[in-house]
Structure 1
């Protein structure tokens, strides 16, 4: 670096990268702001020359949804972790929302957003971004919530003794402690958006069909035309985009977030990033970041009312119990009223036999989901621990894992349909793996985050005392990753229910296969514009997800909070 105030070569490279990113964002925003008639006048075509433009538009939609997911996570998950009354509403709501399929959101939001921006493409863009948001936000919120609930007691006590305001506590303690897990879940969310990109960009709800330019709509057309070459080009474009944003966005963030690991001794192996090292050498970016960080540095002076500084102590006073009971009664009343409205809407067109059919189909999908989650856990927990303990391997496998997690199930439809028809296989069995294709990675990414967050002093102590084999797994690895695994398994379960909409109905050209299940029930109702059956399917799916979460995953969460904190 040059002496004095002169800019260095690092500043020049950083400026060129920022300028290129700004040009791409402006170009994509101009495309999204066109009149709605522009979509009909210039439809999506399978021209390789247009694929870079489509890839840019899809990537911008996904990063816009990711930004909204981060804001949602910081607000909603923080409230759920800090307020018992908010937790009673938010956690069940997140359970329901993560189970609602992307098609379910699109069914009711496309018309809404198009009404907000009549005659403009931005309305459909908002619907697509919102659909991608619904595939990204929930696992990030659960991860952040889990981290806030398991902050070590000594760190919490230090924050109390220093009298941190809510904002300073959030910036200095809660966000840094949650950062390693949140980063890996953010990468998983980005990949999860790719998994549902076809449904988000090629929208068909009843008589309404809208195709936005993007890789998702390209894939939809290529699959409909049985064009293997076009499908391969789309997958190649996805791979290029994933490698680019891995190098330019996520790998620098992983390297930066490593300094927030909770440990008392220095880590011997740390993740690296050429871009992160480049940014640390610049003068221009440091000054730019300092200017933007000025308001954040001054916010801690304000003590925001209404937001507790720490998770509240469960007081046992009569007044507190009375207020909690009153709040619980209000929540129960709101739930009963919503159930009554939903029941009236469904009862106008359907009968109890339809409800029974949906419930039986839900049992079939539940069986697939739980078997697949168990198999995925047995495979990916050992692999995730091995990768998380080796930062060098984590760097090598990070883009590959993101690509595999982003791989849309639709891409495998040609091979699945062809193989099932050729070998006369049972679709009820052999379409099932498509459900876990994109969701198993929630388990892997969270386990990697948990293993990489194991303090170095704990690993060194295990080595010194000669703890190995199954004893090491039982006393070190499994307790350390357990809170992260629960978050991954919970979101993978909800994601698998969501993915059943895509996986239980597979098509390739004129050939279509269907597995008996609730996902196929909702997919067919959405295509037909049968809103009562869509509402019924979503309601039954939500009930199944809530029951599974309450019976299986929530007790595991509470156990992790009580027994497996890094205190």
Structure 2
């Protein structure tokens, strides 16, 4: 617990030297650092050349293996930019929602609505608006693709961080209050470290979700208009459309290689580093290890950069933050002084600007509602009835997918999370399996699935399961890893075993993480219904009755009135379920199942 509430901010934790790695430090600095700089420079040069080129809505893709490295680089850059935006959104949005009760009443329902809007509903507005904003370059299309990947990554990260801050131990929050920490100090010394394990594992899930929707984000059709970007997702989509199983296999192997490289160089070091911020008094017996992390800690170049560059920049940054967030005693200025008058003037200006922004926002919302109402009036009553029945059919499929997912992910996730050995062995495997786009494998399995009872309806449940079960698994793993070792040893000491151990320790401890996984999996299942209820393969279209199929068909035909109606019904269904079920479970986790 002392490692959570450290006197040094999270970003200033010292790098410990590893004596056994010193002799390899110079080699790592030269080879590792040089390779990293070359990759970053190459990606930036490729991005600049691609983004500044004249607008090309549809590019001619090559299924040659020699084109795969370039396409993988394009997709990796889009994923990195989307994840950076998602992480920034998560920290800001989750912090405000968890620490300001008044803001929480608006932000969390809004997050439910945003999560429930399917990715294809973002397409028309995002693509057309950004292409119109940048008509002479590919920047608009690239930004639209990044935005769509962002929407597939951000929601589970935000819910995870929000719920971690919401369930912080009360004694730690009381210590922060007694130490009179500024908000930014509380954020860096308590909120971010305490939520790091869940945030890292949800980041893994976000990358898996980004790969899942990569095919839809790099190649899409809006009515008579078709847009395609060079990338790994569009390569896999083209190979699937042509039925070229060889190119499809090469694309999947490239994707797997990219996932393994990211796991070794990025995610495994982060998982090992996040273990030090676990809420417990004694250290892990066999903590996760990472060779890359040990080399980074032994790097003389990184130590020099931290001492010569990082520390002065951090001190300057803290001075700015301290001025922006002074201590409470510094704010108690008498109203009769000149400083007090200036303070009242600043408050008045801020209130005026806030009122102006809210007025403009209200006008924009009113205009959007008016335009949306005009579109909805064009939808016939019979179509509304069909959409309502389709909503019920999709809801039953989401329930089936969630139930099947929970049955196997909870025991497997707990087994992985409680065993450092299995965590090291299966982390990369789980991430690889979760990251392989089920939409790429689905066409190859379609012939077998259509022969099963239930036809495409059963196949749709399977595809929804492949796209959403990982939300539950990754959150359960994070919850099991966050269980304090003291509680596990106490259970072993008192011989608490079997179902009693699950009922009194494991299930209560992982319950907040399980709720987070279920709420994001539920929203993900509704989104996955769009690509699972309507499938195109080798020039043929296979469709089953459901709301996802209705939305996908409306988007492909450019029928924006039905697209809006289906989107609103999906959003209403997800929000209603969140309000009736998930919100109550959130409150139960906050009030009863927290380390207090």
TM-score, L = length of structure 1: 0.91
Measure the CA separation in 1 of the matches of 2:206 and 2:312.
29
Structure 1: which 5+ residue stretches go unaligned?
310-326
Q: State the 1:350 CA deviation.
A: 1.0
Q: Which secondary structure does the structure 2 equivalent of 1:372 belong to? A: helix
Q: Which secondary structure does the structure 1 equivalent of 2:144 belong to? A: helix
Measure the CA separation in 2 of the matches of 1:561 and 1:334.
37
Q: Is 1:224 matched with 2:253? A: no
Q: 1:296 to 1:503 in 2, by over 3 A?
A: farther
Measure the CA separation in 1 of the matches of 2:323 and 2:434.
39
1:505 to 504, 528, 534: 534
- Partner residue, 1:194: 211
- Partner residue, 1:286: 303
Asked if 2 retains the 8 angstrom alpha-carbon contact of 1:201 and 1:217, the reply is: yes
Q: Return 239-248 or 102-111, whichever deviates more.
A: 102-111
Q: Which secondary structure does the structure 1 equivalent of 2:53 belong to? A: coil
Q: Which secondary structure does the structure 1 equivalent of 2:243 belong to? A: coil
Q: Which secondary structure does the structure 1 equivalent of 2:467 belong to? A: coil
Q: State the 1:513 CA deviation.
A: 1.4
Measure the CA separation in 2 of the matches of 1:62 and 1:392.
30
Measure the CA separation in 1 of the matches of 2:399 and 2:366.
31
Measure the CA separation in 2 of the matches of 1:473 and 1:172.
32
Q: Which secondary structure does the structure 1 equivalent of 2:536 belong to? A: strand
- Partner residue, 1:322: none
* TM-superposition CA deviations, 1:248-300 (whole Å, max 9, x none): 11111111111111101111111111110000111111233452464444444
Q: 1:60 to 1:2 in 2, by over 3 A?
A: same
Q: Is 1:14 matched with 2:32? A: yes
- Partner residue, 1:126: 143
CA-based RMSD of the aligned residues comes to: 2.6
Q: State the 1:416 CA deviation.
A: 3.5
Q: Is 1:70 matched with 2:92? A: no
Q: Which secondary structure does the structure 1 equivalent of 2:181 belong to? A: coil
Q: State the 1:207 CA deviation.
A: 2.0
Q: Return 121-130 or 391-400, whichever deviates more.
A: 391-400
Q: State the 1:334 CA deviation.
A: 9.9
Asked if 2 retains the 8 angstrom alpha-carbon contact of 1:443 and 1:488, the reply is: yes
Measure the CA separation in 2 of the matches of 1:370 and 1:487.
16
Q: 1:141 to 1:529 in 2, by over 3 A?
A: same
Q: Is 1:254 matched with 2:271? A: yes
Asked if 1 retains the 8 angstrom alpha-carbon contact of 2:400 and 2:461, the reply is: no
Q: Is 1:174 matched with 2:203? A: no
Asked if 2 retains the 8 angstrom alpha-carbon contact of 1:388 and 1:394, the reply is: yes
Q: State the 1:172 CA deviation.
A: 0.5
1:177-326 superposed matches below 5 A: 177-290=194-307, 291-292=309-310, 294-301=312-319, 302-303=321-322
- Partner residue, 1:116: 133
Q: State the 1:351 CA deviation.
A: 2.3
- Partner residue, 1:523: 552
Q: Return 9-18 or 30-39, whichever deviates more.
A: 30-39
1:144-155 superposed matches below 5 A: 144-155=161-172
Q: Is 1:468 matched with 2:473? A: no
2:433 to 396, 404, 416: 404
Measure the CA separation in 2 of the matches of 1:308 and 1:397.
47
Q: State the 1:478 CA deviation.
A: 0.4
Q: State the 1:529 CA deviation.
A: 0.8
Q: State the 1:363 CA deviation.
A: 0.8
Q: Is 1:439 matched with 2:457? A: no
Measure the CA separation in 2 of the matches of 1:340 and 1:2.
64
- Partner residue, 2:402: 373
- Partner residue, 2:373: 344
Measure the CA separation in 1 of the matches of 2:28 and 2:274.
22
Q: State the 1:336 CA deviation.
A: 10
Q: State the 1:530 CA deviation.
A: 0.8
Q: State the 1:223 CA deviation.
A: 1.3
Q: State the 1:429 CA deviation.
A: 2.3
Q: State the 1:303 CA deviation.
A: 4.5
1:36 to 40, 54, 77: 54
Measure the CA separation in 2 of the matches of 1:304 and 1:107.
44
Measure the CA separation in 2 of the matches of 1:39 and 1:343.
27
* TM-superposition CA deviations, 1:354-376 (whole Å, max 9, x none): 22221111111011101210111
Asked if 2 retains the 8 angstrom alpha-carbon contact of 1:409 and 1:503, the reply is: no
- Partner residue, 1:138: 155
- Partner residue, 2:120: 103
Q: State the 1:404 CA deviation.
A: 1.5
Asked if 1 retains the 8 angstrom alpha-carbon contact of 2:63 and 2:247, the reply is: yes
* TM-superposition CA deviations, 1:473-501 (whole Å, max 9, x none): 01110011000000001000000100111
Asked if 2 retains the 8 angstrom alpha-carbon contact of 1:219 and 1:231, the reply is: yes
Measure the CA separation in 2 of the matches of 1:384 and 1:423.
30
Q: 1:423 to 1:469 in 2, by over 3 A?
A: closer
Measure the CA separation in 2 of the matches of 1:536 and 1:308.
50
Q: Which secondary structure does the structure 2 equivalent of 1:136 belong to? A: helix
Q: 1:107 to 1:227 in 2, by over 3 A?
A: same
Q: 1:504 to 1:282 in 2, by over 3 A?
A: same
Asked if 1 retains the 8 angstrom alpha-carbon contact of 2:460 and 2:529, the reply is: no
Asked if 2 retains the 8 angstrom alpha-carbon contact of 1:413 and 1:508, the reply is: no
- Partner residue, 1:450: 479
Q: 1:519 to 1:296 in 2, by over 3 A?
A: farther
Q: Is 1:24 matched with 2:53? A: no
Measure the CA separation in 2 of the matches of 1:429 and 1:272.
41
Q: Which secondary structure does the structure 2 equivalent of 1:437 belong to? A: helix
- Partner residue, 1:321: none
Q: State the 1:93 CA deviation.
A: 1.3
Asked if 2 retains the 8 angstrom alpha-carbon contact of 1:224 and 1:508, the reply is: yes
Asked if 2 retains the 8 angstrom alpha-carbon contact of 1:167 and 1:299, the reply is: no
